Amino acid sequence: MALSGAERFRMGVEMFDAARRMVLASLPAGLTETERKRRFFDRLYGMPLPMRV
């Protein structure tokens, strides 16, 4: 609670960015951009990305 709201927000953004990089690094190489996005979404949110997106 000693941090300001802006500092807490920045810390959250940095943690999400680190998690994003780890998930992307764990995906197989050679995926199409669409498939990479779909697998990223599935891994991060635990559900498949709807087909119409």
pLDDT at 13: 97
- pTM of the model as a whole: 0.75
The torsion region of residue 7 among left (phi > 0), alpha (psi -120 to 50) and beta comes to alpha
Model confidence pLDDT, tens digit, residues 1-53: 899 999 999 999 999 999 999 999 999 999 999 999 999 999 999 999 888 76
Confirm if 11 and 5 have CB atoms less than 8 A apart.
Answer: no
Contact (Cβ atoms closer than 8 angstroms) between residue 6 and residue 16: no
